[in-house]
Amino acid sequence: MAELLDMKALVEPGRALNDDEYLRYSRHILIPDIDEIGQRRIVNSKVLVVGAGGLGSPTTLYLAAAGVGTLGILDFDRVDVTNLQRQIIHTQKDIGKSKALSAMEKVNALNPNVKIFLHEVKLDEGNALQIFKDYDLIIDCTDNFATRYLINDAAALLEKPYIWGSIYQFDGQASLFWSKEGPCYRCMHPTAPPFGSVPSCAEGGVLGLLCGAIGSIQANEAIKLITGIGDLLLGSVLVFNALNTSYEKVKIKKSPNCPICNGTQKSLLVNYEAFCGLPDSITATELRNKDSDYLLVDVREPDEYAALSIPGAVLIPMAKFEDGSAFDNLPKNREIILHCRSGVRSAKCLGLLRSAGFMNSKHLRGGILAWEESKS
The residues that are catalytic are 201, 340
CB atoms within 10 A of CB 238: 18
- Cα–Cα distance list, 95 to 98, 119, 300 (Å): 9, 19, 18
In whole angstroms, give the CA distance from residue 169 to residue 13: 40
In whole angstroms, give the CA distance from residue 320 to residue 226: 50
- Cα–Cα distance list, 270 to 72, 115, 343 (Å): 25, 33, 19
In whole angstroms, give the CA distance from residue 338 to residue 347: 8
Torsion angle of C-alpha atoms 303, 306, 309, 313, degrees rounded to 10: 90
Handedness of CA 205, 319, 198, 48 (dihedral sign): negative
Angle between helices 56-66 and 208-227 (to 10 degrees): 40
122 neighbors 100 (Cβ within 8 angstroms): no
Give Rg (Cα) of the chain.
Answer: 22
287 neighbors 313 (Cβ within 8 angstroms): no
Fill in the amino acid letter for 200: S
Please compute, for residue 47, the number of CA atoms within 13 A of its CA located in the half-sphere on the CB side.
35
In whole angstroms, give the CA distance from residue 158 to residue 81: 37
